[in-house]
Amino acid sequence: MNAWTTLGLERTGDVVEIRRAYARKLKATDVDADPDAFIALREALNRALGEAFAAEQRRIDHADADAAVQTPAEGVWQQPEPVDTIEENAVAAPDEASLPFIRLDQLLFGQASAEPAELVAAVQAILDHPNMDHVDRRPAVEHWLAQALYDAIPRSDVLTPMIAGHFGWAAELDEIHQRPLIAFMAQRASDLGCIERLRNPGHRWHAAYAKLAEPAPAQLSLKDQLDLMTPVAQLLNSLRIHDPGVEYMLDERHVALWDREIVVNPQALGAQATGISWYGWLVIAWAAIWAVSLLGLLL
Amino acid sequence: MIVGIDLGTTNSAVAVWRDGKSILIPNSIGDMLTPSAVSMSDKGEVLVGMAARERQATHPHLTATAFKRYMGTQQTVKLGGETFSAEDLSALVLRALKADAEAWLGETVESAVITVPAYFNDRQRKATRRAGEMAGLKVERLLNEPTAAALAHGIHEKEDKQPFLVFDLGGGTFDVSIVEIFEGIIEVRASAGDNRLGGEDFNDILIDLVRARFPALAGDASDSRLREIMRAAAERTRRALTGVEAAPFSFVWNGEAYETEVTGAAFEEAGAALIARLRDPVLRSLRDSGIVSDSLSEVILVGGSTRMPVVRRAVTRMFGRFPGTGIDPDHAVALGAAVQAGLRARDAALDEIRLTDVCPFTLGVDTTEFDRNGRMHHGMFSPIIERNTVIPASRVHPFSTIQDNQRAVQFGIYQGEARNVAANVKLGEVSVPVPPRPAGTVRIDCRFSYDASGLLEVDVTVPETGITRQLVICDEGAPDEKDLAARREALAALKVHPREDAANAALLARASRCYESFLGERREHIGQLILAFETVIERQEPREIERARRDIEERLNALEGERFL
């Protein structure tokens, strides 16, 4: 059945009219006795509201297109400051609350690169503001920061783990309903954390990572291949399973050079696993002693 | 007769829809709230309510409180040789409420609308329904607590009402709902919550705060009697902090008096982590309903824990305005449950009112997904009913086989928000045989039906063969009909302390607790009061007993302040 007949209504774009028709029909429905009737009614409401919304959207788009034709180019140069999302009239007269945002904006997108300490201080000023407790301001600030971090990669990398930690973005990665931008930045923060660990000389793949982080040579030296084939293969394999983003932060051509060698030497990845274990050696040693003693008997 | 029951973590209440309005029913000692506490008396009789609550500190091994927190789990408590689950204990509370309602109404009560936290999962809901059945009540509906509060609040609204937010922080659970009223339709737009956050957690942090000041107590850290004595003291201090900047925290342990002072500021600092947990459900409900907080017409506080100034301040900061104070946070849920009972009974006064609610969780099945590199990932959550879908709802989702000549398809049914099913709540499992075909060519339709009480049914159909299978609950805790009947009998066989004597029992339990929490002369004085009262009770002169009771109550009030619920 058509949504409009279910609602007992002529097709209309009037949302209030649609909801009123739904209310009328709902009162005539015994939801407990006939849940299917309710489900059908609810679906009709959603579809009718959807159609009304789409029609309204088309109307607005047309109106915008007309307006755009009438007022040439003018608006294009006045790109709203990112600050806009926080405080409505920030552009006209930046009030006290929007100053930290303007400051961070300048540091992230200015000509000269900023000191990490300066960046951290600018972010801290935003996070410590009492506005951050407000349930409307907080998501707005969160979104603004995520967008700024995204736009300022890689300059924002010093800030990403800090801000991700403050808002608990890591949890977003485990959710089914992700906000794409937040999930992207959470992944970035996790990738940066991974690189931070690989930079530690004590890490077992540190040497492999340090080699991959170098600019690509014309071809791999034999010494590197002999020393690093196994750890590089293991590192790349592990990254591809657990932190796929990290691979894209490495020199693509350098990775490709190693990949070509790894494909030719598939044993590199499993070098340790296919080695003979200690009890294997025990068996071999026992066989050798037995053979020697047998030889001794024969002689 | 259908009654509405608020089965709370700390207190419960029962109300009825009569003459076009909700009325709370007083219990046998005249209170509107009945503590959700069960205790075994020294004579092996079951005490419910105030008397049981008072025995918590004096007889922790014979008393159970806050058991709603273990609803739907296997956890049991032993009280004087009998083993009880949270369900059994809830059934005893419900049975006491039913008796109170019958005595007050003068007619039998067969059925009830029982409220549950919106964020209660399927297991917790089913356990609550079973508790109602064991108490001899037909459970007409499980109603979400914030929805009930919204109903109590919105029933008087003749006009349409812009969305408002119900902030419900009870003894053990936290819920947030966004509700709108339009043409008499009270519509819940979104709910979110935390079913492990409430006033009890604030007591715990207060106890930890004070314990750190008494190094002498370190050795008794795990003593359950000390814990309960301190919990009673914490409850008193926490309530006192509602009105003043600093309140005493005092208790007696092993014949020694401990006393310290807790300031509101110290309490707020210690509770910062709990306060921070209030924010996420609010953010989520706003995001899900697509509403900005500035456009909310009101923020309504429900649940006794919202009386805490720390919570009120946090709410004020979150919304940039003061919350509404129009409704009694302790009574709203029971009053709303009674409205729903009136709706169920098709009361003429409610002819123009309808209520629609949502399911606050995402429900779905586990599936196998392939990533970009062609790797198989098992145990990925595939949603079928998205959270905040209006209920009752029914959705079908088609799936297909992943292996050649697969013989059967098995679905795990899950509830939660995590991509990986391991982090969600497993509700059950259903398996259906499929004809052997190449991978991906057999279609399996999985239908989820969610009823108005928030209970789920699942059926899985293979269109090619027409075979259908229904959800088999794998929940090991869920008893079958035979177990249920046996438990109902076991509960019925328990000796129950006579209802008429409840006021005396409650007063004696309170006096015993006071006896243990004072020293010296005052202790002796209380001892004499108890002895005198026991002699009066033996004489069985109702008017004399009543007078003695009032007298002793006044004396105890003078010693430790008013009794509270």
| Each residue's pLDDT tens digit, B6-65 | 999 999 999 999 999 999 999 999 999 999 999 999 888 999 999 999 999 899 999 999
State residue A67's pLDDT score.
66
Q: What are phi and psi of B449, to 5 degrees?
A: -120, 130
DSSP E strand stretches across B416-506: 425-433, 443-450, 456-462, 467-470
**Helix axis angle, A35-70 to A15-27, nearest 10°:** 180
Contacts of B363 in chain A (CB under 8 A): none
Q: Is B352 on the interface with A (CB under 8 A)?
A: yes
How far apart are alpha carbons B128 and B72 in whole angstroms? 8
Out of B145, B187, B194, B228, the active site residue is B145
Same domain (yes/no): B116, B12: yes
State residue B83's pLDDT score.
92
pLDDT band, very low/low/confident/very high, at B543 (cuts 50, 70, 90): very high
In a domain, B68, yes or no: yes
Same domain (yes/no): B186, B207: no
Contacts of B183 in chain A (CB under 8 A): 19-20, 23-24
Same domain (yes/no): B162, B211: no
The predicted complex's ipTM stands at 0.86
B111-116 and B138-144 beta bridge pairing: parallel
How crowded is residue B430: how many other Cβ atoms within 10 Å of its Cβ? 20
Name which of A16, A49, A6 is nearest B183 in CA terms.
Answer: A16
In a domain, B370, yes or no: yes
State residue B394's pLDDT score.
93
- From B225, B250, B274, the end of a domain falls on B274
Same domain (yes/no): B242, B304: no
- In this structure, of A60-74, A166-180, B55-69, the range with the lowest mean pLDDT score is A60-74
State residue B374's pLDDT score.
74
Same domain (yes/no): B354, B371: no
Same domain (yes/no): B64, B155: yes
CATH of the domain at B155: 3.30.420.40
Same domain (yes/no): B260, B126: no
Q: Is B379 on the interface with A (CB under 8 A)?
A: no
B63-65 and B82-85 beta bridge pairing: unpaired
Task: Identify whether the C-beta of residue B166 lies closer than 8 Å to the C-beta of residue A3.
Answer: no
State residue B554's pLDDT score.
93
Helix (H) or strand (E) segment spanning residue B100: helix B86-105
- From B470, B501, B531, the end of a domain falls on B470
Same domain (yes/no): B393, B332: no
Same domain (yes/no): B133, B35: yes
Q: Is A176 on the interface with B (CB under 8 A)?
A: yes
Same domain (yes/no): B184, B134: yes
- What value does the mean pLDDT take over residues B78-106? 95
Specify the DSSP class assigned to residue A276. P
Same domain (yes/no): B257, B290: no
In a domain, B43, yes or no: yes
How far apart are alpha carbons A256 and A67 in whole angstroms? 51
Out of B140, B168, B330, B366, the active site residue is B168
pLDDT band, very low/low/confident/very high, at A93 (cuts 50, 70, 90): low
Specify the DSSP class assigned to residue A175. B
Give A274 or B94, the one with higher predicted confidence: B94
- In this structure, of B84-98, B324-338, B368-382, the range with the lowest mean pLDDT score is B368-382
CATH of the domain at B208: 3.90.640.10
State residue A89's pLDDT score.
43
Q: Is B296 on the interface with A (CB under 8 A)?
A: no
Contacts of B355 in chain A (CB under 8 A): none
CATH of the domain at B366: 2.60.34.10
Instruction: State which residues form the domain around B398.
Output: 361-470
Give B211 or A298, the one with higher predicted confidence: B211
Q: What is the pLDDT of residues A202-226, one digit of tens each?
A: 999 999 999 998 888 888 888 888 8
How far apart are alpha carbons B325 and B556 in whole angstroms? 32
Contacts of B345 in chain A (CB under 8 A): none
In a domain, B484, yes or no: no
State residue A264's pLDDT score.
73
- From B239, B258, B274, the end of a domain falls on B274
Q: Is A88 on the interface with B (CB under 8 A)?
A: no
pLDDT band, very low/low/confident/very high, at A79 (cuts 50, 70, 90): very low
State residue A71's pLDDT score.
46
Name which of B406, B364, B352 is nearest B157 in CA terms.
Answer: B352
State residue B352's pLDDT score.
87
Token pair recorded at residue A269:
């990845």
In a domain, B492, yes or no: no
Domain chopping of chain A, boundaries:
3-70, 99-195, 212-274
User: Is B145 among the catalytic positions?
Assistant: yes
Same domain (yes/no): B151, B6: yes
Number of domains in chain B: 3
